[in-house]
Amino acid sequence: MRWSVLLTLGFVCNASLANEDSVSGCQTQVLLRDKWRFLHQGRRPYIRIRRKSLIFRNGPIRVRFSCVQNIGNIYLIRKSNYKPGQDAVLCVGFSYVADHPYAEYSAIRLMTEGIGSHIMSPQLFPHGTEVSINTTCDFVGPEERQQYAFIHRATPGCKFPKKLNKSWNFTYLHARRLVIDGNNMTLILLNGRSIVFSCYARDSNYYVVRSSGYPTADKDSYMCVSFVPIRDNPFYSYVFSRLNSGSILDRMLKTIPKGQRVHLHQDCDWMDSPARPEFLYE
């Protein structure tokens, strides 16, 4: 079945191109910032979309593209010096799919064939070649074939790196210890109470940790954190930065209805301006 939503992208694009001069910078839309898998293609390949970059992983191949230009959800992305003297360039669009039972978006290739067979395979350009959506992307008509693939968000779940797996002293005023072990993080308070969080989602050094049934049986709570190692410091081992506003536990945790999905790049609202940091030490 050909989904009519794919054609919408072309019409939106044509309307946007008329106002191309008004587009400044390049930034992905918030709803796209996540880890995405391709429907029926297994755990790899996948794409990880961040604010100004897109990472494509296919088996042993990993390419980090920088965002060059966007018009709506159409993106021109580039990897400089992908090969000696050559840049990898790709034009791709993302269109929301409202009526698909498994996918949330379709990824639509807006270029002719690249150096590989996958929809995310780039074309090679001489290093430093000027590119733009208007001159580099190919927009086909409804009667022509578009190469597209359905994508869905990766299933929640993650693990902490082994170097974090231990019992830490924690500078948070009401904490006795912070214990990290595999998929779990346990905050032990001075009053003896323990709050157990599961590692719910991860993007590089950013984590969403979630406590089910806390503070009440019908609520969950979550916290967005990053752990940054401190080099050559005789006292502290890691900076613990909170990346969300909150409502409980000294406003560290945000509460949500039990079972509600949390998206790292949407619900961690302090990604660009973390709270005052705490520290971990042995």
Q: Are 210 and 259 in contact (CB under 8 A)?
A: no
At residue 186, the pLDDT reads 97
At residue 247, the pLDDT reads 93
Closest CA to 224 of 9, 36, 33, 20: 33
Cα–Cα distance between 74 and 54 in angstroms, integer? 13
Q: What is the dihedral of CA 197, 55, 270, 267, to 10 degrees?
A: -60
> What 3-state class would DSSP assign to 127?
coil
Element (H, E) at 280: strand 278-281
pTM attached to this predicted model: 0.67
Cα–Cα distance between 199 and 222 in angstroms, integer? 10
Is beta strand 219-229 parallel, antiparallel or unpaired with respect to 194-203?
Answer: unpaired
At residue 142, the pLDDT reads 53
R_g over Cα of the chain: 22
At residue 145, the pLDDT reads 63
Domain ranges of the chain: 30-153, 162-281
What φ, ψ does residue 15 adopt, rounded to 5°?
Answer: -65, -35
β-bridge partners, 195: 187
Mean pLDDT per 10-residue run, the chain (282 residues)?
A: 45 42 69 88 86 90 93 94 95 88 89 87 93 86 69 84 95 95 95 94 89 94 95 93 94 94 88 89 94
Q: Are 148 and 187 in contact (CB under 8 A)?
A: no
